[in-house]
Amino acid sequence: MEPPVIKRIEDQTEESPAPVCVLIVGMAGSGKTTLMKQLQESTMHDDDDDEEENMPAYCINLDPACLDVPYSPSIDIRDTVDYKQVMSQHHLGPNGAIMTSLNLYATKFDQVINILEQRADENKLSEFLLVDTPGQIEAFTWSASGAILSESLASTFPTVMVFVVDTVRCASSPNTFMSNMLYACSMYYRTRLPLVICFNKTDVVSHEFCMEWMKDFEAFQDALDNARNEGSNNGGESGFYDSLTRSLSLVLDEFYTEFSKNAVGVSAVTGDGIDDFWKVIKNAANTDFSEYIEDLKHRIEEQDAKRKAMARVQARKLQRDVDNDNSPY
């Protein structure tokens, strides 16, 4: 049987597009949460009419460990799972507790999808659905539950992944830039979702140098040479480290060619570049998504199997907790 969820993506037309899900990922401290706030605010007002308020972007928080959420989430993992309780009752460190919280949430995520489906059917969902993810990026992207959450969303709505980069940290180290690009590339490799690279914090330093490094191999090599000469990069480490970084930038050539088109600079604090951000998102959602539909159908089947397996494991764990009277719900 054809999964009805894919139907929403396939049946969308220019006159009646499906809401676009924007999955925000990135290294800790890159500015994901601040960007969520800026993006939600930007959807509330038309450029030409500051008075009238539009329906704000629908926000979902999937970070169980964050203390304060500066935007208004309509759905928040913290309402369902108590991260601190998970940590103390399962004797886990911060990363383990995030993973377990995501596991618990993944077993219930079909309920979240049902709510979103219902709202979309009633035209009560805004044009964009913004999803904030944990700073411990690997907890989300490399766990089975993270895959379930992102694939459930991606099989329900056209989904674009935004990889947020701390431009300031890249400016002081070409190797940090390279680490970010490798991570973004591996996330694309894993999720196969349309990818937007968002260079954040442009109020501190312009992202132009990052764009140049993506487009011009020589410019990146020069930056590496300069960093090595200044001794600020890797302290004049072995030639191997240096030549590896150079080779990697050649390996990424194809990635750069494709994704420099979808790269944008913003300041999540001042709102600079946010209009361009939305243009790039719309472009990614319109032009890239058709390629993913066939692939998605296979992944939905895989995801179903994963969800069932995970539900069995969590059910056993919870049963033990209930028996010991310490359920984190």
Ligand X SMILES: Nc1nc2c(ncn2[C@@H]2O[C@H](COP(=O)(O)OP(=O)(O)OP(=O)(O)O)[C@@H](O)[C@H]2O)c(=O)[nH]1
The pattern of x and - marking residues 263 through 282 that bind ligand X according to CB under 6 A reads ----xxx-------------
Q: Footprint of ligand X on residues 46-85 (CB under 6 A)?
A: 63, 66
Of the pair 59, 125, the CB lying nearest ligand X is at 59
Point out which span in 73-81, 105-113, 215-223, 261-269 binds ligand X (CB under 6 A).
Answer: 261-269
- Taking the least distance from each CB to ligand X, the nearer of 164 and 181 is 164
Q: Based on CB atoms, which residue is closest to ligand X, 100 or 136?
A: 136
CA distance 21 to 62: 14
The answer for 117, left when phi > 0, alpha when psi is -120 to 50, beta otherwise, is alpha
Per DSSP, 262 falls in state G
Q: What are phi and psi of 142, to 5 degrees?
A: -110, 10
Site string for ligand X, 104-143 (x = CB under 6 A): -------------------------------x--------
d(CA 162, CA 160): 6
- Interface stretch with ligand X, choices 1-9, 24-32, 71-79, 208-216 (CB under 6 A): 24-32
Q: Which is nearer to ligand X, 5 or 280 (CB)?
A: 280
Are the C-beta atoms of residues 110 and 307 closer than 8 Å to each other? yes
- In the complex with ligand X, which residue's Cβ is closer, 267 or 303? 267
CB 33, CB 132: distance < 8 Å? yes
Contacts made by residues 83-86, CB under 8 angstroms, sequence distance 24+: 85/328, 86/328
Q: How far is the CB of 77 from ligand X (least distance, A)?
A: 13
Separation of first and last alpha carbons in the chain: 34
Q: Does 172 participate in binding ligand X (rule CB under 6 A)?
A: no
Measure the CA–CA gap between 134 and 64, rounded to whole angstroms: 7
From CA 13, how far away is CA 30, in angstroms rounded? 35
Point out which residues bind ligand X (CB under 6 A): 26, 28-34, 63, 66, 135, 200-201, 203-204, 267-269
